[in-house]
Amino acid sequence: AKAALPLMQGRSGALVTLTYLGADRVVPGYNTMGLAKASLEAGVRYLAASLGPKGIRVNAVSAGPIKTLAASGIAGFSKILRYVEENSPLQRNVTTGDVGNVAAFLLSDLAAGVTGEIIYVDGGFNTVVGAIPASGASE
């Protein structure tokens, strides 16, 4: 953000970062990353407050689990995908396209009045489930 400030100032700039439910809820095995994501989300709010007067918006997208090559290395990931699909209101997992569309919105002028927000793109999972149970994360 600091390096981009001169390029964005006065130009309706926008920053978007990615976070995860583990910042707010206990996710088995997420541990240190949960702390890092919680700090990132606080950073989004503080940056939004300090950069807003310069015309720069700062938001985050909290994506649900997505079946990617990198995720395939996470122990129990297929069970997590199944659990989220079965328990989210939309009864499906989200895609990279779903997340990309929300990021594009947040970076566009359509979101000119949105800053300091964490937008969940998880099929509504975060609204109905307290946490991912440990049994859902082990194979």
Q: Name beta bridge partners: 17.
A: 60
**In whole angstroms, what is the distance from residue 5 CA to residue 10 CA?**
9
Residue 20 catalytic?
A: yes
Element (H, E) at 5: helix 5-8
Q: What is the DSSP letter of 139?
A: -
Catalytic residue among 20, 46, 83, 120: 20
Find, among 115, 113, 127, the residue nearest to 24 by Cα: 127
Residue 46 catalytic?
A: no
Catalytic residue among 30, 46, 83, 120: 30
Q: Is 38 helix (H, G, I), strand (E, B) or coil?
A: helix
Residues 6 or more apart from 47 whose CB is under 8 A from it?
Answer: 1, 15, 58
- Active site residues per annotation: 20, 30
